Structure 1
Amino acid sequence: MRPLVFGAVSAAVLTFTTALALRAGDVASAVLAVAAVTALFGWLATFHHTPDQSGLALSGPSAALALAVVRRYRWSALLPLVTAQVVGAVLGGLGGLAVADEWGPVAIIAPPTLVVAGVSAALVGLIGTWVVFSVDGDGPAGLLVVPPVVAGAVAPLSLVAMAHPAAVLGLATADALPWDVAAVAAGAGLLGAGAGAYLMGLLVPAE
C-alpha cells in the first residue's frame, strides 16, 4: 500500500505544481519547477529499492513500464501502481483547476498539435528511460532533471511534464491541455519508454 500512496502523492504534487507553473507564464520558472519536483520524488523513490525491484518505478508510469520490461519491477504490480499514479494526477489536476481563478489562465497561446505531442513525448519517453536506468544503476539522482528539461526544449511549454504520462492526463483535468493532446502524449510517452527499455535490453542483455 505504501508504494501506491507514494506514487499517487508524487503524481498529484507534480501535476499541481505544473498546472500552477503554466499559469505563472514564465518558461524558465516552469521548467525549473517541474524538473525540481521530478528530481525530488525520483530521489525519494530510490529509498524504496529492494535487491530485485527498483523504487524508481514509483516515480512515474513510463519509469514503471521500462523497469518492468527489464524485470526490475513486477508486471503484476504495474497496473495497480499506474492506476494510483493516474488517480493522484487527476486529483492534482482538480486542485490546480480549483485555484485557476486566483492564478489566471494558462499562459499558452495555442495548444500543441497531435503530431508534435506524439513525436516529442516519444522522444522524451525514450530519453527518460535511459536516465532512469542510469540512476537505477547507482548514477546520480540529479540526472532525473534531464527529461523535463528536454521536454521544455523540444515541445511547447504545456507539455513540460510529459515525461510523466499520468501528470499529462492530470493537466488535461486542470484544463491546461486538450484531452486529445494529453491522450496522445501519454500514449506516445509510454511507447517511447517501452521502446527505450527494449533497446537497452538488446544492447545490455541480462546476465
Structure 2
Amino acid sequence: MEQARQGRNVAVFIFEQVEPLDFAGPFEVFLAGSNRGQDFQVYTVAEHDSPIIALGGLSINPAYTIANCPKPDLLVIPGGWGSRKEMNNETITNWIREVSDDIEIILSVCTGALILAKAKLLDGLKVTTNRSAIHELRNVVPTSTEIIEEARYVDNGKIVLSAGVSAGMDAALYVVEKLLGEDRAIEAANIMEYDWKRD
C-alpha cells in the first residue's frame, strides 16, 4: 500500500448532458475515501470553464478546464446522453489519450466507455458499459476488445470500466480498495451509508 505518498489527484471529467450520478457518485466515493482530503484531492474538469448542464438541468461549475487542471493521477470518465457527442470531440479524446500515459487509473462509468473507445484506449481489453448501450459500444471498439455484458465492473489494470450509473460507485470503491486497502473502501461505503456491490 502506498499510504505514505502524497495524495492522488482525482480528475472527474464533466460535459454537457452528463448523467449526474455517473460523475457525482465516484466524486463522493473518492471524497469519502480520502481520509479528509489527505489521500485524494477530487476535482471536476471540463473542456471549457463555462457551467455544464447535466441531464435534468443540473448546472455544475467545473473547477478546472483541460488546459489548466492539476496533473491527474486518476481520471473518471462518466457517461450520459452527452457522451455520444463527446466521443466524437477530438479535443477531448486527444486530451484523454495524451494524459493517459501518466495516469495511474482511468475509471469509465456507463457510456464513458464510448469516449475511451474513441480515444483508442480499449484495444485488447475487457470492457463493459450500461446494459442498454452494449450495442453502441460494440460498434466502436476494436475486434480485439472483449465486451463483458453482465459485469458490474471490469479491471484491466490501468483501465477500469463499469456498467451504468450506481455501478460507477461500486467501481470507484473497488479502486479505493485497490489503492488504499479494503478497510478504507469499507469505511468510505459506511460513511456514505452505501451498500457496496462487489463484482
Q: Report the TM range for the smaller structure's normalisation.
A: under 0.3
TM-score by length of 1: 0.26
- Bigger strand fraction: 2
- Bigger helix fraction: 1
Greater relative CO, 1 or 2 (CA 8 Å, sep 6+): 1
